[in-house]
Structure 1
Amino acid sequence: MLTNKQIKLINSLHSKKGRSENELFLVEGEKGIQEVIDSDYEIEFLVINVDFQEVFSGISIPTYFVSKEDITKFSTLTINQYGLAVVKCKITPSFTQLDDVILLLDGVRDPGNLGTIIRICDWYGIKQIVLSNDCTEFYNPKVISATMGSFKRVDCNYTDLTAFIQANPLHTVLGADLAGENLHQFTFPTKVFIIMGSESHGISPEVSAMIQQRITIPRFGAAESLNVAISTGIILDHVRRN
């Protein structure tokens, strides 16, 4: 049976402050829980709907079975009747060894977009994302949920983007820009940083000044803009085609 202390801990992990102070985060829903169990993340304990007790009968992780109403009450998700995991945060990777293709995110604040971008990167085999310090938090429950388990396969590093670019001059710096070269006619370099800007403000002036080549997704209709996650997917698809 869950103690009041454990319930208080779960509730504290709904906030960034609580996650930071406890160095723990929540993984919610069936897919996320299955993925985190099959990973090298350390799980403190599981809280599972009692209807799924048989599924977890042989597991060595401390597991508490509660009603679906309690799961809904503890969860940050609107719909979650399966369960949640309380998981230890990892130390942020330093990226001393860089991949050829790395995504750089500048000021992406929407957690759903960040989670979707991580999932897209996982699909296209992009293992490293570098984020500006004002991007939304990796361990935000909405980010973790939107990744659909991909958070365990893609490393995210928060840092000053200008300093990172300056420290790694062997990669060509590309930026997504409406005034850029047509993506359909562009050949990607072997080593490349691809910069995506925020949903509302685009790439910041200081980061934009470091872009060596600009690319754009050609528009055939009348829409004003594309969602940053959708744009990332289209660009990464062209990277892999090259």
Structure 2
Amino acid sequence: MEGEKAVLELIHSNIQIEFVVTSDEFATQYLSEFKHTELYIEDESLLHKLSTLVSNSFGFAVVSMQQFNFQLTYKNDITVVLDGIRDPGNLGTIIRICDWYGIKQIALSKDCTDFFNPKVIAASMGSFSRIQFEYINLEELFKANNNVPVYGALLNGEDIHAIQFPESCFLLFGNESNGIRQENIEFINQKVTIPRYGSAESLNVGISTAIFLDNLRRN
């Protein structure tokens, strides 16, 4: 975990921190937060060299990889479902957005980018530790839970502002370039569109997820 905000998020999570590498300035500033953490103090120039971020004067934390063996239940919850999301920045942003809106679980098609890709972890800003997830064949997921309605983000659906979302459903979002695959569109019970008032060609999938979840919570 790299950067000031991301590392400080870890202090309040259940993730085991092995050690933190930071500068003398930040070690002093956050002395109370790091009182139970093994610290290594290095020059900022070295921290910049070791980091994958464009700018990182704070440093990073090395943490233990958790074993995630969730048994997700879909019948009584809101589940964000991702179909072929390849961009790690988008996935990390979606994880963070789900955490903001209190969505606890994400189902991912098996060709989605790795949940633990460093760019996903960085973009999630610590929210990855609070989201349960599962990589699964989406066709099998929808067939096994055919009593849970599927709301799909498409360009030819009903205006999202007129939708009354139920307390339990799948919210399906497609690939950044190609959208939801045809074989998964067949399982959608309600096609939903974010109305366009300007001239932009499309919306980023992370932004679309935020708009869906905001409207869902307004209900």
Do the structures match in fold with TM over 0.5? yes
Deviations, residues 32-71 of structure 1 (Å, cap 9, x unaligned): 1111121111122211122222234762332211111111
| Number of aligned residues | 216
Separation of aligned partners in 2, 1:89 and 1:159: 21
Q: 2:89 aligns with which of 107, 112, 130?
A: 112
| Offset, 1:236 | 0.7
Instruction: Answer whether contact 1:105 1:197 (CA < 8 A) is retained.
Output: yes
1:154 aligns with 2:131: yes
Q: Which runs of 5+ in 1 are unaligned?
A: 1-26
1:95 aligns with 2:71: yes
Match of 2:187 in 1: 210
Match of 1:132 in 2: 109
Separation of aligned partners in 1, 2:157 and 2:112: 24
| Offset, 1:129 | 0.8
Instruction: Answer whether contact 2:72 2:105 (CA < 8 A) is retained.
Output: no
Match of 1:64 in 2: 40
Q: Give the RMSD, CA atoms, in angstroms.
A: 1.6
Match of 2:52 in 1: 76
Q: State the one-letter code of the partner of 2:84.
A: G
Q: 1:43 aligns with which of 7, 12, 17?
A: 17
Deviations, residues 115-148 of structure 1 (Å, cap 9, x unaligned): 1111111111111111111111111222112122
Match of 1:28 in 2: 2
The 4+ residue runs of structure 1 with deviation greater than 4 A are none
Match of 1:6 in 2: none
Q: Which runs of 5+ in 2 are unaligned?
A: none
More displaced 10-residue stretch of structure 1: 193-202 or 114-123 = 114-123
Calculate percent identity across the aligned residue pairs.
50
Instruction: Answer whether contact 1:129 1:156 (CA < 8 A) is retained.
Output: yes
1:240 aligns with 2:217: yes
| Offset, 1:104 | 0.3
Separation of aligned partners in 2, 1:52 and 1:184: 46
Separation of aligned partners in 2, 1:137 and 1:82: 26
Deviations, residues 70-115 of structure 1 (Å, cap 9, x unaligned): 1111111111110111112222343343352110011111111111
SS of the residue corresponding to residue 47 of structure 1 reads strand
Separation of aligned partners in 1, 2:202 and 2:93: 18
Match of 1:231 in 2: 208
Q: TM-score, normalised by structure 2?
A: 0.92
Separation of aligned partners in 2, 1:96 and 1:80: 36
Instruction: Answer whether contact 1:170 1:191 (CA < 8 A) is retained.
Output: no
